[in-house]
């Protein structure tokens, strides 16, 4: 008869049978272990579930580059040191100095080396053609003063000798004993090797594709390659000076540690002073945009002198011409931008803010129209930590940052791959400011918040109105056809939405509702199958007697619904509110199809602004996403008790 | 023999019942109107379109069963059906087990229950755009979280969403993450189980397993059934994950039914054929739901049965 | 008493609804009520917010010339632009002027979503028409053609070239290749720039393909448009000129040779990572390139200039595409503006389209991509970045995508996924290229044939 009774009985039997005799944990210990178990599971589960939010939070506080390359790390920034009195900054690296201490350094030069053999000294009797399976694993080994890729060759008689491979020989590999190679091998800079002409050298039957090094032998690069970087204390950066790229001349190699460094003398400086190059980059003359707006003007090229002189403003070389005014007066002007017919010029005395900037700070400029001349500019250009507006003028220049050789006495060499960037913790909270204040097609994120909130309220209104009425009818009233209608209601939950998308779009289009919020809330006034179902279930759980009492008092159906059912259904209404909020807030596809003007966009749609065809702006996307999900989290946190009480599925049957 | 009264049921009722029926129809009228306007009409139109060749920007041309014949020979149709079935088989049982597990944990007497529940609900509320970026990195073969962790214990992780064989399992894993709504419904179901039943088992000396096996599970079976049906319907229509994360790739390994349908409609502009696909999917879902309904008698426990 | 309360609720609900309807028509309606004599035209843009700032700058210049016309940008927040356009074509709700990807132009034309621009362009009134061959690069202009008629004017475009990490070239002492280099040279350079954990490059017999720390090149994964450049350069096309037949083109010996070359580079010479290794990061392999893990990548994209230039001290070079057995041929990536047939103000919309496609717009768009107008590009031909991309334009072959409205959906996308991504992925190592291609060709052909005979449009 009663399933529950059976359940009880069998449960009792099972547990009696299963319980090992003698092992009786006291109840409190058992409970304690249960608690520990529960909390451990909870914590592990929570860690897994919380991960997305955690990741979004950290990502929202990172600069863009760090999201791309270091997805799971602490938000941090690279540390730089200013180069002399220029606006350029040099990256700092961590390394271990010869004294064995950790030190922050700048890099001065890099050279890549390989091991070569002199092909002219290679003789036929050194060569062995060995099948690959007779050769052991490659082991880079220092032999004499070179490093060779040493393998163990097992000969047919079972004896083993160390060899290094020279070339592929069909399916075999051509090797030579390490012993024989040490005499002909040497270490050579890869740049030197590859600068040589390609040559083919025959040794017996074998032919080798090597390089003819200038003033040297024909060599074959065997590898392994290694790279050494010369680094020095960051104080060197203070002595850096910026010079045009053609100024360093007469390069010569000077040994430092196990490698060499290029030294230059500078044109126009004493010939016996040597310099090293810290970096070489493209720089761009810029001028304060305010100066352009105040003093620059467009003139016809005909009014400018043919003759042009070059004048340097803060290292930026600019063309200067003579302008003849309409009254015949003459003035010297700097030509900022020259097009086919006209030029943008500024009087020499107003050109003081012309200076150089590394192009890395000027990428993707915008264009402004001054007197018919397009002027490229950036209004977020940063110089010495300050944001300013500059116009991009004149020609790009290749510049070198150099430091006197006397400054690098403490330089040393390290393997390139042992260097790591110096970073420090930094939370990029600006991401939030930027994401929220950014102009997104004439609107900001707050507009989207407003629209989403409006939609939520309208959908709430719609659902509270329609769902309660319909659910009550299905829960309490009797009518022919009700069961069929209820099955239809349930089956509408399983309709594939793309079927209806186009016809629905046509309807809204005919109603002139495209690019309005209408299609996104009007349907809620006509009910929602899932919510109607949930509320009906809840209504069914409310005792009929309460309703009957009200009826006896003469209440009509709507009064019963309003005065009896709804006050008892607060949890279910909270559930409807949460589901409605959730769907409205996160819906992406429908707003995407129906809305086109940014002023009508919703939050989830607005997030899409940070993801374009070619590029994501992850840091902004993540900070905007965090802000976007906050309302849902808050609502769920405070309403979740009602939420769960509101779902009544007891008495559920097909 | 029937007269007009028996054929139109509402006229066959006594005045009181007739009035009640009228009130019923009046009260459900918002839903009925919505049904006709936003569901029946679109469905009818798409049913008509499913028998036509209808390119965007042209008039539909009736082709009879042409679309259905094409469907039988369409490799992408069969492929997407296979992918979707595999997805359903992987995601629904996993989701059910995980959601029940979480619900059981959260139903315990624990401190800070709001906090815990909110955390478990979190993954379900992050918007699709952000989630796509997130999973890109979780499943990134080079930099991703999963492979970084695997590498730490010496295992070379697979290519996940970028590997033909692992892309679908990755999507299934993803679906296990977002069980917030199901958890809430299970939690409600567990909360509704009368405490006396547990006490009865305890009196009989039953442990936690017995409580689960003999009270929770049977009492929860209607909720499981409900969630299973919803889960099946949702899993058959899976779209967001494959759309934003893999776009059906690599090599169509995640071309789900809905994605294929969507591409037919909005990539090729082939609304007629897309409608055919939609109706076939509708029939498949209906059929499966009917099957599950049938099977429910075998394993779903209804309180009313004991009366 | 209680009844009254209920009627109040119903009444107020109805009132709210009524007010909303009124408000909706007045306040939320799509087109703002225009000032007297003022005409508003809309511009559909798929660009991100930076791109839209550029559009806005161009529009401001336009509105300065035509003060009676107001332009509103309708942007595309993240979703699939093509979907949106198709839906809007279906409902007759297109923006007056909108951006169209070259590969979808044929489909939009066939669906009745684009207007033939010839009557406007050839209008003798200089305020309306102009001579396109005088101001545009002819080849670029004609990329906006479908079946001999112009439907879109270029916004911007790009050729495909090779991005090289100059520091890695310098360290290895390899000179930067110049125009005329061949695919053999490319493989040779890539071998020298592929290095394993022991420091052995891919040419060395000691090379360990299991532990590569630096790859010589990438392979374009499922980017079919990018790979088309190689197919063209090996002397084939992927579809017949009339856009009907794949057989004999996509499976020609030359196409197969091109695929085999790249497949071998991945699996035999190990100079490019397998598809499975390359994560489909947004921006593709660019992050790996910037990180020094790949020495050369194929790229269109002046769109990536900002990413390159924002890296302080990152030294790059743009290399020309190599010459293949069939010569040096390129494929273009192209975006344009088209005109909606539903526009209420077609004449004003044309003025906007004309402005954006010619100097007013090109001044702005030419700032971060190639422009269709020689006059805009003339001062960039020596630019270290733009120069190569501009020169590549001389080698552009007619694009296969323009021959058939469904090339993109039926051939382009699936070929990327089912041919290149597979061959260059882990499974591709032992695959017979000809067999694979011959296996998928009938499927692609069936897809083209199924869309096939388009029903006659309204005309």
pLDDT in tens, A64-73: 767 766 666 7
CATH of the domain at B123: 1.10.3720.10
- Do A433 and A321 contact (CB within 8 A), yes or no? no
Tell whether the model's pLDDT for residue C2 goes beyond 50.
Answer: no
Closest CA to C117 of C91, C92, C97, C93: C97
Q: Answer with the residue of higher pLDDT: A84 or A364.
A: A84
Surface of C (431-450) touching B: CB under 8 A: 443, 446, 450
Tell whether the model's pLDDT for residue B236 goes beyond 70.
Answer: yes
- Do C321 and C162 contact (CB within 8 A), yes or no? yes
The mean pLDDT value for C319-334 works out to 91
Tell whether the model's pLDDT for residue C15 goes beyond 80.
Answer: no
Closest CA to B124 of B174, B171, B181, B170: B181
The mean pLDDT value for B90-117 works out to 89
CATH of domain C161-331+394-451: 3.40.190.10
Nearest Cβ partner for B250 among C83, C409, C417: C417
User: Residue A18 has what pLDDT?
Assistant: 44
pLDDT category at C295 given cuts 50, 70, 90 is very high
- Do C337 and C156 contact (CB within 8 A), yes or no? no
User: Mean of the per-residue pLDDT values for chain A?
Assistant: 83
> What is the second-level CATH architecture of the domain C39-157+333-390?
3-Layer(aba) Sandwich (3.40)
Which residues in chain A are closer than 8 Å to B226, comparing Cβ atoms?
A: 649, 652
pLDDT category at C25 given cuts 50, 70, 90 is very low
Same domain, yes or no: B50 and B96:
no
The mean pLDDT value for B279-304 works out to 80
Same domain, yes or no: B272 and B289:
yes
User: Would you call A614 and C368 a contact, using CB atoms and an 8 Å cutoff?
Assistant: no
User: Residue C10 has what pLDDT?
Assistant: 52
Reduced to 3 states, what is the DSSP secondary structure of residue C50? helix
User: Would you call B126 and A1 a contact, using CB atoms and an 8 Å cutoff?
Assistant: no
User: Residue C12 has what pLDDT?
Assistant: 55
Helix and strand element counts for chain C (H, E): 21, 12
Count of Cβ atoms closer than 10 Å to residue A213 Cβ: 19
Task: Give the homologous superfamily in CATH for domain A445-645.
Answer: MetI-like (1.10.3720.10)
Same domain, yes or no: B79 and B215:
yes
The total number of structural domains in chain B stands at: 2
Domain assignments of chain A as residue spans, ordered by start: 286-399, 445-645
Tell whether the model's pLDDT for residue A256 goes beyond 50.
Answer: yes
Same domain, yes or no: B56 and B86:
no
The mean pLDDT value for C290-318 works out to 80
- Do C154 and C336 contact (CB within 8 A), yes or no? yes
Same domain, yes or no: B119 and B173:
yes
Q: Which of A11-25, A137-151, C324-338 has the lowest mean pLDDT?
A: A11-25
Tell whether the model's pLDDT for residue B183 goes beyond 70.
Answer: yes
Residue C99 sits at φ, ψ, to 5 deg, of -80, 140
Distance from CA of C205 to the nearest CA of A (A): 6
Q: What is the rounded distance in angstroms from the CA atom of residue B121 to the CA atom of residue C240?
A: 55
Q: Which of A614-618, C402-406, C413-417 has the lowest mean pLDDT?
A: A614-618
Q: Answer with the residue of higher pLDDT: A158 or A291.
A: A291
User: Residue A8 has what pLDDT?
Assistant: 44
Q: Which of A514-518, A527-531, A544-548, C2-6 has the lowest mean pLDDT?
A: C2-6
Structural domain boundaries, residue B38: 4-67
Residue to substitute from B69, B139, B161, B250, interface C, most C β-carbons within 10 A: B250
User: Residue C8 has what pLDDT?
Assistant: 52
User: Residue C24 has what pLDDT?
Assistant: 45
Q: Where in chain C is the domain with CATH 3.40.190.10?
A: 39-157+333-390, 161-331+394-451
Residues whose CB falls within 8 Å of the CB of residue C173, separated by 6 or more in sequence, listed in order: A112, A189, A190, A191, A192, A193, A194, A195
How many B/C residue pairs have CB atoms within 8 Å?
96
Q: What is the rounded distance in angstroms from the CA atom of residue A250 to the CA atom of residue A259?
A: 19
User: Residue B5 has what pLDDT?
Assistant: 52
pLDDT in tens, A334-361: 999 888 788 999 999 998 899 999 888 8
Is the minimum CB–CB distance between C368 and chain A shorter than 8 Å?
A: yes
Q: What is the rounded distance in angstroms from the CA atom of residue B15 to the CA atom of residue B191?
A: 42
Highest mean pLDDT among A18-22, C218-222, C315-319: C315-319
Highest mean pLDDT among A18-27, A433-442, B254-263: B254-263
- Do B54 and B61 contact (CB within 8 A), yes or no? yes
Instruction: Name the pairing type of β-strands A373-383 and A355-358.
Output: unpaired
Distance from CA of B165 to the nearest CA of A (A): 24
**E strands along A22-88, which residues?**
76-78, 80-82
Question: CA of C113: which chain B residue's CA is closest?
Answer: B57
Residue to substitute from C78, C93, C196, interface A, most A β-carbons within 10 A: C78
pLDDT category at B303 given cuts 50, 70, 90 is low
pLDDT in tens, B151-167: 888 887 777 877 788 88
ipTM here:
0.84
How many A/C residue pairs have CB atoms within 8 Å?
228
How many CA atoms within 13 Å lie on the side-chain side of A431?
27
Highest mean pLDDT among A297-311, A494-508, B211-225: A297-311
Q: Answer with the residue of higher pLDDT: A350 or A362.
A: A350
pLDDT category at B4 given cuts 50, 70, 90 is low
Same domain, yes or no: B244 and B292:
yes
Same domain, yes or no: B99 and B178:
yes
Same domain, yes or no: B103 and B252:
yes
Highest mean pLDDT among A465-469, B212-216, C210-214: A465-469
Judged on CB neighbours under 10 Å (0-12, 13-18, 19+), A407 is: buried
Closest CA to A225 of A143, A119, A146: A146
How many CA atoms within 13 Å lie on the side-chain side of A409?
2
Q: Answer with the residue of higher pLDDT: C242 or C31.
A: C242
Tell whether the model's pLDDT for residue C459 goes beyond 70.
Answer: no
pLDDT category at C240 given cuts 50, 70, 90 is very high
pLDDT in tens, A386-433: 888 999 998 888 888 889 888 888 888 888 888 888 888 888 898 899
Same domain, yes or no: B165 and B256:
yes
pLDDT category at A494 given cuts 50, 70, 90 is confident
Judged on CB neighbours under 10 Å (0-12, 13-18, 19+), C134 is: exposed
- What is the signed CA dihedral for A16, A21, A27, A32, rounded to 10 degrees? -110
Same domain, yes or no: B174 and B27:
no
User: Would you call C454 and B55 a contact, using CB atoms and an 8 Å cutoff?
Assistant: yes
Torsion region of A204: left, alpha or beta (phi above 0 gives left; psi -120 to 50 gives alpha): left
CA A447 distance to own-chain centroid:
26
Tokens of residue B85, six digits: 């079935």
Scan for tokens 């092909």, then name that residue.
Answer: A119
pLDDT in tens, A99-123: 888 889 998 888 899 998 888 888 8
Surface of A (58-97) touching B: CB under 8 A: 69-72
Q: What is the rounded distance in angstroms from the CA atom of residue A28 to the CA atom of residue A34?
A: 10
Same domain, yes or no: B97 and B122:
yes
Same domain, yes or no: B178 and B297:
yes
Q: What is the rounded distance in angstroms from the CA atom of residue A8 to the CA atom of residue A465?
A: 45
The mean pLDDT value for A261-288 works out to 87
């Amino acid at each position: 008869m009663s399933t529950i009774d059976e359940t009880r009985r069998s449960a009792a039997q099972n547990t009696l049978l299963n319980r090992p005799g003698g092992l009786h944990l006291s109840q409190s210990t058992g409970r304690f272990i249960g608690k520990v178990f529960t909390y451990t599971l909870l914590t592990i589960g929570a860690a897994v579930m919380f991960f997305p939010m955690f990741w979004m939070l950290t990502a929202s506080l990172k600069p863009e580059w760090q999201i791309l390359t270091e997805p799971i790390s602490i938000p941090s920034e690279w540390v730089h040191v200013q180069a002399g009195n220029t606006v350029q900054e040099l990256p700092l690296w961590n390394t271990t100095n010869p004294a064995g201490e950790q030190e922050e350094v700048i890099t001065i030069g890099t050279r890549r080396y390989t091991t070569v053999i002199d092909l002219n000294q290679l003789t036929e009797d050194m060569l062995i053609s060995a099948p690959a399976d007779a050769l052991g694993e490659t082991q880079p080994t220092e032999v004499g003063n070179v490093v060779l890729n040493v393998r163990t060759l097992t000969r047919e008689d079972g004896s083993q000798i160390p060899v290094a491979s020279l070339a592929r020989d069909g399916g075999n590999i051509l090797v030579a004993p390490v012993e024989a190679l040490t005499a002909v091998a040497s270490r050579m800079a890869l740049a030197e090797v590859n600068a040589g002409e390609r040559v083919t050298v025959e040794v017996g039957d074998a032919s080798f594709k090597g390089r003819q090094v200038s003033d040297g032998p024909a060599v074959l690069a065997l590898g392994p390659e290694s790279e050494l970087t010369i680094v020095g204390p960051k104080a060197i950066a203070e002595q850096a000076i910026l010079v045009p790229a053609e100024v360093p001349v007469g390069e010569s190699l000077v040994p430092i540690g196990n490698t060499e460094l290029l030294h230059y003398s500078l044109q126009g400086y004493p010939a016996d002073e040597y310099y090293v190059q810290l970096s070489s980059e493209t720089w761009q003359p810029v001028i304060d945009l305010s100066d352009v707006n105040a003093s620059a003007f467009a003139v016809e090229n005909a009014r400018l002198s043919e003759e042009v002189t070059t004048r340097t403003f803060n290292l930026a070389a600019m063309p200067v011409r003579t302008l003849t005014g309409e009254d015949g007066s003459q003035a010297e002007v700097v030509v900022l931008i020259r097009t086919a017919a006209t030029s943008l010029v500024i009087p020499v005395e107003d050109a003081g803010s012309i200076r150089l900037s590394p192009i890395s700070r000027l990428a993707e400029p915008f264009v402004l129209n001054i007197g018919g001349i397009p002027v490229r500019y950036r209004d977020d250009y940063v110089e010495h930590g300050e944001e300013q507006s500059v116009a991009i003028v004149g020609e790009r220049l290749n510049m070198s940052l150099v430091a006197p050789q006397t400054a690098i006495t403490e330089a040393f060499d390290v393997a390139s791959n042992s260097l790591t960037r110096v970073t420090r913790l930094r939370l990029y909270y600006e991401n939030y400011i930027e994401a929220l204040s950014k102009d997104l097609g004439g609107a900001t994120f707050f507009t989207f918040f407003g629209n989403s909130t409006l939609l939520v309220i309208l959908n709430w209104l719609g659902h509270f109105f329609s769902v309660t009425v319909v659910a009550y009818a299905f829960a309490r009233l009797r009518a022919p056809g009700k069961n069929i209608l209820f099955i239809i209601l349930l089956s509408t939950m399983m309709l594939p939405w793309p079927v209806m998308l186009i016809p629905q779009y046509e309807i809204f289009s005919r109603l002139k509702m495209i690019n309005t919020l209408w299609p996104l809330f009007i349907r809620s006034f006509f009910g929602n199958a899932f919510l109607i179902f949930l509320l009906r279930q809840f209504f069914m759980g409310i005792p009929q007697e309460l309703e009957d009492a009200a009826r006896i008092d003469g209440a009509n159906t709507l009064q019963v619904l309003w005065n009896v059912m709804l006050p008892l259904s607060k949890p279910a209404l909270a559930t409807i509110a949460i589901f409605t909020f959730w769907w409205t807030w996160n819906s992406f596809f429908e707003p995407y199809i129906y809305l086109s003007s940014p002023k009508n966009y919703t939050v989830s749609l607005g997030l899409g602004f940070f993801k374009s065809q070619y590029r994501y702006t992850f840091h902004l996307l993540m900070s905007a996403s965090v802000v976007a999900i906050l309302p849902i989290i808050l609502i769920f946190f405070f309403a979740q008790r009602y939420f769960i009480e509101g779902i009544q599925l007891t008495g559920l049957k097909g | 023999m029937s007269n007009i009264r028996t054929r139109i049921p509402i006229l066959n009722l006594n005045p009181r019942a007739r009035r009640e029926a009228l009130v019923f129809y009046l009260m459900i009228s918002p839903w009925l109107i919505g049904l006709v306007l936003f569901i029946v009409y679109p469905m009818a139109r798409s049913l008509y379109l499913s028998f036509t060749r209808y390119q965007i920007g042209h008039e539909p041309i009736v082709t009879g069963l042409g679309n259905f014949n094409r469907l039988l020979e369409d490799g992408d149709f069969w492929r997407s059906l296979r992918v979707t079935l595999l997805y359903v088989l992987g995601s629904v049982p996993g989701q059910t087990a995980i959601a029940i597990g979480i619900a059981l944990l959260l139903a315990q007497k624990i401190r800070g229950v709001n906090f815990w529940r909110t955390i478990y609900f979190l993954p379900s509320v992050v918007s699709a755009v952000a989630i796509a970026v997130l999973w890109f990195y979780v499943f990134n073969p080079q930099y991703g979280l999963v492979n970084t962790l695997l590498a730490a214990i010496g295992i070379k992780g697979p290519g996940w969403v970028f590997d033909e064989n692992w892309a679908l399992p990755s999507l299934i894993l993803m679906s296990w993450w977002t069980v917030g709504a199901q958890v809430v419904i299970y939690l409600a179901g567990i909360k509704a189980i009368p405490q006396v039943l547990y006490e009865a088992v305890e009196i009989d000396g039953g442990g936690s397993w017995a409580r689960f096996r003999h009270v929770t599970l049977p009492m929860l079976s209607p909720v499981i059934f409900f969630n299973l049906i919803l889960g099946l319907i949702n899993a058959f229509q899976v779209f967001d994950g494959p759309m934003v994360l893999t776009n059906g790739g690599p090599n169509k390994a995640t071309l789900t039914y809905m994605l294929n349908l969507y591409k037919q409609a909005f990539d090729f502009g082939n609304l007629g054929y897309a409608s055919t696909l939609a109706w076939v999917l509708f029939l498949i879902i209906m059929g499966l739901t009917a099957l599950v309904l049938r099977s429910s008698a075998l394993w779903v426990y209804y309180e009313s049965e004991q009366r | 008493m209680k009844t009254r309360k209920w009627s109040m609720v119903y009444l107020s609900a109805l009132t709210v609804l009524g007010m909303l309807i009124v408000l909706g028509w007045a306040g939320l309606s799509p087109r703002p009520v225009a000032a007297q004599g003022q005409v508003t035209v809309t511009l559909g843009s798929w660009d991100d917010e930076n791109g839209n700032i550029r559009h806005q700058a161009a529009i401001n210049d336009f509105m300065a010339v035509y003060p009676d016309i107001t332009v509103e940008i309708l942007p595309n927040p993240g979703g699939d632009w093509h979907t949106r356009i198709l839906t809007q074509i279906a409902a007759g709700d297109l923006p007056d002027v909108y951006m169209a990807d070259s590969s979808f132009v044929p489909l939009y034309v066939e669906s009745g979503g684009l207007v033939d621009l010839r009557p406007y362009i050839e209008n003798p009134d200089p305020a309306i028409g102009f001579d396109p061959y005088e101001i545009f690069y002819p080849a670029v202009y004609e990329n906006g053609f479908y079946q001999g008629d112009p439907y879109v004017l270029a916004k911007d475009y790009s050729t495909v070239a090779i991005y090289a990490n100059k520091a890695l070239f310098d360290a290895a002492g390899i000179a930067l290749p110049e125009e005329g280099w061949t695919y053999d040279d490319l493989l040779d350079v890539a071998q020298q720039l592929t290095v394993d954990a022991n420091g052995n490059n891919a040419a060395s017999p000691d090379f360990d393909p299991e532990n590569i720390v630096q790859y010589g090149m990438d392979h374009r994964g499922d980017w079919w448009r990018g790979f088309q450049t190689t197919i063209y350069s090996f002397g084939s096309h992927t579809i017949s000129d009339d856009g009907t037949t794949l057989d004999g083109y996509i499976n020609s010996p030359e196409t197969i040779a091109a695929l085999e070359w790249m497949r071998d580079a991945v699996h035999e010479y190990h100079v490019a990572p397998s598809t499975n290794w390359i994560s489909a990061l947004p921006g593709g392999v660019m992050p790996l390139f910037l990180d020094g893990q790949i020495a050369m990548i194929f790229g269109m994209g002046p769109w990536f200039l900002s990413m390159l230039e924002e890296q302080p001290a990152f030294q790059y070079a743009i290399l020309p595409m190599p010459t293949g057995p069939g010569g040096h041929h390129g494929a273009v990536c192209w975006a344009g503006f088209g005109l909606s047939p539903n526009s209420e103000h077609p004449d004003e919309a044309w003025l906007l389209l004309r402005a954006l496609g010619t100097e007013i717009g090109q001044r702005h768009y030419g700032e971060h991509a190639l422009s269709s107008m020689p006059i805009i590009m003339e001062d960039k031909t020596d630019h270290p970045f733009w120069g190569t991309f501009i020169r590549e334009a001389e080698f552009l072959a007619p694009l296969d995508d323009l021959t058939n409205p469904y090339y993109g959906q039926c051939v382009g996308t699936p070929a990327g996924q089912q041919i290149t991504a597979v061959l260059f992925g882990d499974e591709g190592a032992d695959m017979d290229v000809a067999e694979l291609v011959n296996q998928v060709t009938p499927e692609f052909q069936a897809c083209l044939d199924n869309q096939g005979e388009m029903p006659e449009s309204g005309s």
